[in-house]
Amino acid sequence: MTTKPRAIRVMIADSNQMACQLLGEALSRQPGLNVVGSAPDFDSFTGTAQTAKPDVALVSASVPGGPLKTLAANERRPVPPCPWIALLDESEPRVVVAAFRAGAKGVFSRTQADICLLAKCIRRVMEGQVWVDSRQMSYLLDALTGNENAQSYGVTPKLTRREESVVRLVVQGMVNREIAEKLRLSEHTIKNYLFRIFDKLGVSNRVELALYAVARLKLDQEIAA
């Protein structure tokens, strides 16, 4: 007898309560998803999440006290207790880039208006993947290669074989412990590798690293073609 997989626990943070309620009801009808709570601001979200224990959170870019609001105000950035997806009213380049810099594992524009696609986004993030469409990917690549510490399109930073192995495993969604076990190294050693890789590529976190690697591969394929 096979055991039915546990439903993904989803929580929503959105200042628009009517939109939040409608979204929650729509997601609850999707297979394998369980909406366990919602909140109108980030403080309430954090408090509710301690009890609800969500697997994935949907956080509106406009939610008071949220990661994107505090990032714009240069305040201390709050950290959601689980992987989160930024809900955007529009996919402007600066907002998309800001969402990933704030730690989002995916971005989803309300203009897409496809609840099945949003459910797929949630499932992919739950699996440890990064969710971004091709247009948003181009915004991120432009931002990364535009950094004064990042490399230009024509110059690929040279990584060692071990560093390349670490990058591949990060792209697969593995955490430090899993990478350490896979490569038979200590977690401390993996952390040191990641610091060196971040410095070489001019990125600041794992999401940016994964996006850079995927975008770099796509660009190399286009050049080779």
CATH classification at residue 162: 1.10.10.10
Q: Is residue 140 part of a domain?
A: no
Looking at the predicted structure, is the pLDDT value of residue 55 above 90?
yes
**One domain, residues 115 and 57:** yes
Residues 6 or more apart whose Cβ sits within 8 Å of residue 211: 100, 130, 132, 137, 140, 141, 144
- Residue 34: per-residue pLDDT: 94
Q: Which residues constitute the domain of residue 216? A: 151-224
d(CA 205, CA 199): 10
Q: How many domains does the chain have?
A: 2
Q: Is residue 199 part of a domain?
A: yes
**One domain, residues 126 and 173:** no
State the pLDDT confidence band at 72, using cuts at 50, 70 and 90: low
**One domain, residues 46 and 103:** yes
Looking at the predicted structure, is the pLDDT value of residue 148 above 50?
no
Taking every pair of Cα atoms in the chain, the longest distance, rounded to a whole number of angstroms, is 57
d(CA 108, CA 170): 22
Please report, as a single letter, which amino acid is at residue 177. Answer: R
Q: Which of 66-70, 71-75, 149-153, 206-210 has the highest mean pLDDT?
A: 206-210
**One domain, residues 127 and 39:** yes
**One domain, residues 118 and 159:** no
Choosing from 132, 162, 188, the residue where a domain stops is 132
Are 91 and 110 in contact, with CB atoms under 8 Å apart? Answer: no
- State the average pLDDT for the chain: 80
Average pLDDT of span 104-114: 84
For residue range 182-208, list pLDDT tens digits in order.
999 999 999 999 999 888 887 777 777
Nearest-5° angle of CA 12, CA 95, CA 86? 20
Number of C-beta neighbours around residue 221 at 10 A: 9
Q: Is residue 142 part of a domain?
A: no
For residue range 122-144, list pLDDT tens digits in order.
998 998 888 887 777 777 766 66
Q: Is residue 141 part of a domain?
A: no
Choosing from 86, 103, 132, the residue where a domain stops is 132
- Residue 117: per-residue pLDDT: 92
Q: Is residue 173 part of a domain?
A: yes
Q: Is residue 138 part of a domain?
A: no
**One domain, residues 125 and 157:** no
State the pLDDT confidence band at 149, using cuts at 50, 70 and 90: very low
Predicted TM-score (pTM) of this structure: 0.68
Q: Is residue 3 part of a domain?
A: no
Residue 125: CATH number of its domain: 3.40.50.2300
d(CA 118, CA 106): 10
**One domain, residues 21 and 124:** yes
- Residue 100: per-residue pLDDT: 82
**One domain, residues 170 and 86:** no
**One domain, residues 16 and 127:** yes
Are 175 and 124 in contact, with CB atoms under 8 Å apart? Answer: no
